[in-house]
Structure 1
């Protein structure tokens, strides 16, 4: 997992090919810190997803760039395009189902083209 300390690092990560998951949090958000280990556990089920996190208080311009109005925000990108966005109230079962659908569609497509 990568931790981003600048907009440049974040932009490079999110624009790479493949599946990219970004966890946006704030250091003073207890929900962000409590939820993060649970989200990490779910993401372990999907080994082809690259994971990164960023704290808004470290890189405040992230909020405007990603249109973040509340935290936590969970984003999944496929080949640089936002595919899933979940903010504030995260239902872990629903999140896992959404990721699974996208993940299996993406990995099946990759396997078919090889």
Structure 2
């Protein structure tokens, strides 16, 4: 899919990661300068990996997300394979290591079926 879908409920978030072979969840909040600068850097990574279904959620719109995923700071990038969290990056996200991890997981997901 590649494009990040705006998620506005905990149900939509669960549907994203529980029903897909691979997914990414980007958690941010308004007024977060790091969140605003990170998103344009990670969006092209997932646009190049259509095997991931991508979702974006605002912590202030869906506060339950903090408890559901033990989120203590933003931004958070969560990668899931078949409903299981397999990788997490928070606050300061190094782009090149994230790209490599996405490529590894993407290759794994493509060979699963």
Match of residue 29 from structure 1 = 32
Structure 1 residue 17 displacement after superposition: 2.8
Match of residue 5 from structure 2 = 2
1:39 equivalenced with 2:42 (yes/no)? yes
Structure 1 residue 3 displacement after superposition: 0.9
TM-score normalised by length of structure 2 = 0.92
Instruction: Select 2:106's aligned residue among 66, 82, 103.
Output: 103
Instruction: Select 1:94's aligned residue among 85, 92, 97.
Output: 97
Report the count of equivalent residues. 110
1:49 equivalenced with 2:52 (yes/no)? yes
Deviation string 1:33-74 (CA, Å, 9 cap, x unpaired) is 111011001112211111000000111111011100111000
Distance 2:95 2:14 in 1: 26
Aligned-pair RMSD on alpha carbons?
A: 1.0
Bigger Rg, structure 1 or 2: 1
Match of residue 72 from structure 1 = 75
Distance 1:64 1:35 in 2: 23
Q: Which has the higher contact order (CA 8 A, sep 6+)?
A: 2
Distance 2:28 2:101 in 1: 20
Off by >6 Å, runs of 4+ in structure 1: none
Q: Which runs of 5+ in 1 are unaligned?
A: none
Q: Which runs of 5+ in 2 are unaligned?
A: none
Match of residue 19 from structure 2 = 16
TM-score normalised by length of structure 1 = 0.91
Distance 2:10 2:26 in 1: 14
